[in-house]
Amino acid sequence: MISTLLVLLTSTLRSSTPLILCALGGVFSERAGVVNIALEGMMLTGAWAASFFTLATGNVYIGILGAILASVIMAGLHALASVIWTADQTVSGVAINLLASGFTEFMAVKVWGTSQSPSANTAPAIFGISLFVYVAFAMVFIVHFFLYHTAWGLRLRSVGENPWAAETMGINVISMKIQGVLLSGVMAGIAGAAFSVGLLSRFTVNMTSGRGYIALAAMIFGRWNPIGSMLACLLFGLSEGLATLFQIWQLPVPSQFLLMTPYVITMLALAGFVGRATAPAADGVPYVKSR
Amino acid sequence: MPDKAKSWVKEAVETVTVPILAIFVGLLVGTVFILIAGADPMEAYKALFKAVAGSPRAIGETLTSTTPLIFTGLAVALAFRCGLFNIGVEGQYLVALMASALTGYYLHLPPVIHALVALAAGGLAGMLWAAIVGVLKAYRGVHEVINSIMLNYIALYFTHYLLMYYFREPGNRAAATPFIQETAKLTKGLIPGSRLHTGIFVALLAALFVWFFLWKTPQGYEIRAVGLSPGAAEYAGISVKRNIILAMAISGLMSGLAGAVQTLGVSYKFYEQMGFIGYGFDGIAVALLGRNHPVGVIFGALLFGALGQGSGAMQAAAGVPKTVVWIVQGTVVFFVAAESIWKFLRRRRVKAEVKTA
């Protein structure tokens, strides 16, 4: 019984770690008023780059830095289109996800000749739990601190709520939005690395398989704040863990229903049946400085 | 030239400029990646052209892959016209695949009627799936993008559940439903040797319907009014809620028909889906390229259908990974979306006009 619980606990932690990191990225971006469905693509790019740089240098930390860099470049494209060129943020996100899935598979085949990389070093495990797990939970509180207890955090949030008012207070709205998007790239990059040099030891094509969208849902269910997002990610991770466990036990509950749960819960939450979720007021609205 | 015709031409030129520039940049980026892959771009494009339009059979195959994209492009475009972003086409498509496969197999009806009923079943399934999003948007104010994404995954798992627990053909190693009845199949053989089926006509009819509905009926006018300004539409006595639900439902109908024609014209069964096929995301690109107009959608679908169809041949003949095509598609969407970067062209032209005046 205890060993089963332990299996469930570790599998929940494993599934939720990349989700938490990615959802924190979503918090940065959406708090600055930029909708970010490009998280999926950024994370995938990060996963590829982590494997690439780790294999090239033999050092997993350089791999993680490479993942952050690659993901931030993708985030830069998103910032360029949606903040500077005021494109529709969702459409720009779709474009980046397309680019990322094309680019990572192209590069995987180009570099490794197949759709997956050879096995690479992974980040060390402490007490049998990957370093990424500790980083994810630590980041929750770090991000919370920066958002709610620093002047910078107040500025970032004000830009997402009312950019026009923020501008009159002397805040550089465009700059804050770009910072938010780039930081989301940093987090998504770490999340991607958590996949390819953390939980697993190699990159495989499309290995994030929609986790970016789940992270986005978790962030919304968690009401656009770090701690709420973490709790939502743990819940989503638990349903994934249960799905695996139920399959092992051959329980009559179809695994598809457990896998569906996060999405159904999110819809119910948004519809106000499980508490109310409200987005930052100016989320998704391109900001055009009035001349 | 009479003034009216002149302004029409001017408008048409302005409408196609951005998509054409974006396609150009996309092909440029694609060429760079072909070079990185170590292939000859000329060879690659030659292979692409040959696979897309080199023979009657090739043309037939290209039109076959264009057909579902016309529907998904129309779905996204129609929702866009109401100010809605239907990113849930994938899910609507999946439930429709299942609905058509089931009605195609379990019902026993005369030919033509059976196909029509199965088409309608697919369309209806997509319609209901999308209407959920519309209702939640209208009455609970939930953003359609999030709910559509959620429903995509729910559709993926739900159809998988139905397949595995109820409708899987016993004794078949691959997880799939049985083949649909002959009476439900869409007629093939429009171009001998290709899989082209009558679904293409249904697609063109759908485009005509969307055009007529949006621009020639009061209901379509209302939908466009809501899309331009919900506040102003409400003030003018138009029910924003009603139109949001209606637009989502008809958009879902189009996605559903996409799934229906694929089942009834190409695959003839529902087989296990390990992930999304991508017609929904392609539909977004098609709609954007086509400027959310049915005529534009047809051309956009043709481009993406051709790229999708030709990518395999490019890989086989010229050694270009088919992923290059996705990179081209992504680039095109990116540059169509970031329309404002092309504004400098217009600004310069305005200046020129001021000078000549």
Q: Is residue B314's pLDDT more than 50?
A: yes
Q: What is the pLDDT of residues A42-81, one digit of tens each?
A: 999 999 999 999 999 989 999 999 999 999 999 999 999 8
For residue B146, give the nearest of A85, A110, A220 by CB distance: A220
Q: Which helix (H) or strand (E) holds A130?
A: strand A129-130
* B345 assigned to some structural domain: no
CATH number of the domain that residue B196 is part of: 1.10.3470
Task: Specify the higher pLDDT residue, A147 or A170.
Answer: A147
Strands A129-130 and A125-126, how do they pair? antiparallel
CB-side exposure of B300: number of CA atoms within 13 Å? 35
- Beta-carbon count within 10 A of B343 CB: 11
Domain annotation covers residue B125: yes
Contacts of A263 in chain B (CB under 8 A): 150-151, 153-154
The most confident of A271-285, B53-67, B340-354, by mean pLDDT? B53-67
Residue B311, in any domain of the structure: yes
39-78 in A: which are within 8 Å (CB) of B? 77
Would the pLDDT of B7 be above 80?
A: no
Q: How confident is the model at residue A211 (pLDDT cuts 50, 70, 90)?
A: confident
Chain B residue whose CA is closest to A259? B157
C-alpha B227/C-alpha A34 separation (Å) is: 21
In 3D, which of A189, A187, A181 has the Cα closest to residue A43?
A: A189
Chain A touched by B164 (CB under 8 Å): yes
Name the 3-class secondary structure at B197: strand
Residue-wise pLDDT tens digits, B275-285? 777 788 889 88
Q: Which residues in chain A have their CB less than 8 angstroms from residue B288's CB?
A: 91
pLDDT digits (tens, 9 = 90+) for B17-75: 888 888 889 989 999 998 988 888 888 888 888 888 888 888 999 999 999 999 999 99
Q: What is the DSSP code (8-state) at residue A275?
A: B
Q: Is there a domain that residue B135 lies in?
A: yes
Region for B79 from its dihedrals, namely left if φ exceeds 0, alpha if ψ lies in -120 to 50, beta otherwise: alpha
Number of domains composing chain B:
1
Which stretch of DSSP H or E encloses residue A126? strand A125-126
Range of B43's domain?
38-320
Q: Indicate the class that CATH gives domain A2-270.
A: mainly alpha
Which structure tokens are listed for A153?
Answer: 């955090």
**What's the complex ipTM?**
0.83
Token readout for B163 is: 């397949």
**What pLDDT score was predicted for residue B203?**
95
The string of pLDDT tens digits covering residues B103-153 is: 999 988 888 899 999 999 999 999 999 999 999 999 888 888 889 988 999
End-to-end CA distance of chain A: 67
Dihedral sign for Cα atoms in the order B172, B174, B178, B183: negative
Share of chain A above pLDDT 70, in %: 97
Question: If you count residue pairs, one on A and one on B, with CB atoms under 8 Å apart, how many are there?
Answer: 137
Quick check: is B97 in a domain?
yes
* pTM across the whole model: 0.86
Q: How far is A2 from chain B (nearest CA, A)?
A: 31
Closest CA to A108 of A39, A40, A188, A52: A52
Taking residues B167-173, report their average pLDDT.
Answer: 83
